[in-house]
Structure 1
Amino acid sequence: MEKPLKTPPTYAIASVDHALRIATILQLEGALTVSQVAERLGVARSTAHRLLAMLVYRDFAAQDEDRVYHPGPVLELAAHSRSGTSRLRAVALPHMERLVNVLGESVNLAIRMRDTTRFIVSVECDQSLRVGTREGMVFPAHRTTAGLLLLADLPADELAGVYAEERYAEHPEERPDLDRLRAELTRVRRAGFALNQGQSERGVVAVGVPVRDSDGMAVAGLSVTLPEVRYDRHQLPNLVAALQRAAGVIGADLAG
């Protein structure tokens, strides 16, 4: 069995974590004010201002004449990529917040970027023992619920291209076993959901379903994450049903 990919550091440095989260949000969404940063991180405006000032100094952010912050040279992405991700996040967020209230667990939305998945928004539950925010984190696609859901939507030839041997020439150990992966993706397609028990992070269980656009294409993976000690397999049908309802509404809003 593969080892879990990520374990939170024993001694986390809050200021570094905050700065990295701001950089990620800027890269994904394109513009932020000091007030928005303070609200998203749950910190004082003065703290948000100091963090942004350091990011500007190191070229991770840039401030315009209206005192709005944008990605700096280090983070600059194509404008269409930001706008699409930003719209998806804006549409999904209120439905994700309602889902957290219903399930009492943290909820995430992730997109696929070739052979990786990137979490574009997380909503944490308020339980003392909970799975923290995944916003901005990147994992190999075949090791996450969202990644499996989005890979399962690909035609066979496109999947083969994503995992072509030449792309892993320098690190062949990172290439998944395609026969095993295809078999897993077949199970995901048939079930309509994906279950991840500790493949991405030790002690964490995630259940996810696809969010589809008006053409029926899977554009994101919506998942609920919870500590393994709180997971009961008898919960699975209810978790999947709640996720599917939320994903359906998000997809409808995207089409609208």
Structure 2
Amino acid sequence: MVSDAGRAGERPEKETVVGKLVDLLAAFSPRRQELTLSEMARFSGLATTTVHRLAGELTERGLLERGADRRYRIGLALFEIAALAPRGPGLREVALPFMEDLYEVTRENVQLAVRAGDEMVFVERIAGRSSVGVRTRIGGRFPMPPTGVGLVLLAHAPADVQQRVLEAPLTRYTPYTLTDPESLRNTLAEVRRTGVAISDRQVTSDAVSVAVPVHDDHDVVAALSVVQRFGDARPSSLTPAVRAAALGMSRSLAAAGSAPAGR
């Protein structure tokens, strides 16, 4: 993805058309939801003439929208395409009833995430007005190591993914964030052994999360967590409820995967 700092200057255009389209769309971010043509060129690193041509085609097809202020925004057609992703809305459709039940029991933040390469993406969340603040945005990416859901996903990720994540620099968000690779390896082994991950003030100094895996017929496909304010209750007291919700999701996903075609 393109960083918020952008790219310095336009690079030689040797990419495929698909690569250029991806770079152009990646110029948008939660902090850059509306861009002019020149801003899209600056943040994507593409030539202005290329951006003008691609933006026009994307706008005609509804993937981008241009307002009266001549600024471009992500279009509804792109949202409609993204809604077909099975690990997003399809998973959410199964998970939401269980997440709602879990929220009713705990009255705390409830989060669902999937692994995307060496990072994770939050695909659903439920938060109450009195819940502790979290750095969660549906569709937002985040490093795996510091979070409860991330620890679950990383613990069950392929060995090469674990190696890349552990060998890369680990960001310290709070004084409690695990940044030592060996300590993190031991934590991942414990997550696999117990089936639960507890992230104690690793992302923000006022929050603790309890997370467990969600399975389909064969693999861990997601991670479910409850995030509460540090000191409100013992994290272990949340584990049974989180496990029960994840078990319900897993059984529903397995049943959906084994259903005959057309059902």
Name stretches of at least 5 consecutive residues in structure 2 with no aligned partner: 1-28, 34-64, 173-178, 257-263
Offset of 1:77 from its aligned partner? 7.8
Query: Of 58, 61, 64, which residue of structure 1 is paired with 2:74?
Result: 61
Aligned-pair CA distance for 1:177: 3.9
Q: Of the candidates 37, 52, 70, which is equivalent to residue 77 of structure 2?
A: 70
Aligned to 1:34: none
CA–CA distance in structure 1, aligned partners of residues 202 and 170 of structure 2: 16
SS at match of 1:60: strand
- C-alpha separation in 2, matches of 1:145 and 1:164: 16
Give the structure 1 partner of residue 148 of structure 2.
Answer: 145
Which of 85, 101, 106 is the aligned partner of 1:103?
106
Q: Would the alpha carbon gap of residues 228 and 58 (structure 1) be closer, same or farther in structure 2, given more than 3 Å must change? A: farther
Considering only CA atoms, is the larger Rg found in Structure 1 or Structure 2? Answer: 2
The sequence identity of aligned pairs, in percent, is 35
Taking structure 1 as the reference length, the TM-score comes to 0.63
Question: What are the within-5 Å matches in structure 2 for residues 172-211 of structure 1?
Answer: 172=169, 177-211=180-214
Distance 1:86 1:243 in 2: 21
With over 3 angstroms needed to count, the CA separation of the structure-2 counterparts of 1:57 and 1:87, relative to structure 1, is farther
**Residue 61 (structure 1) shift:** 2.3
Tell me how far apart the structure 1 counterparts of residues 149 and 214 of structure 2 sit (CA, whole Å): 10
8 Å contact from structure 1 (residues 121, 134) kept in 2: no
Q: Deviations over 1:87-135 (max 9, x none)?
A: 0111111110111001121200011122222211111134x35435723
Q: Report Cα offsets for 1:25-58 as digits up to 9, x if no partner.
A: xxxxxxxxxxxxxxxxxxxxxxxxxxx986x964
Secondary structure in structure 2 of the residue aligned to 1:180: helix
User: CA RMSD of the aligned region, Å?
Assistant: 3.3
Query: Which residue does the alignment assign to 2:253?
Result: 254
3-state secondary structure, aligned to 2:246: helix
Whole-angstrom CA distance in 1 between matches of 2:81 and 2:165: 24
Q: Unpaired runs of 5+ in structure 1? A: 1-18, 24-51, 63-68
- Check the 8 A contact 2:109/2:128 in 1, yes or no: yes
**Larger RCO of the pair (alpha carbons < 8 Å, separation 6+):** 1
Q: CA distance change for structure 1 residues 219 and 70 in 2, over 3 Å: closer, same or farther? A: same
Q: Between Structure 1 and Structure 2, which shows a larger proportion of helix residues?
A: 1
User: How many residues are matched?
Assistant: 188
Q: Deviations over 1:210-229 (max 9, x none)?
A: 111111x1111100011114
Task: Give the 3-state SS of the residue equivalent to 1:110 in structure 2.
Answer: strand
- Match for 1:218: what amino acid? V
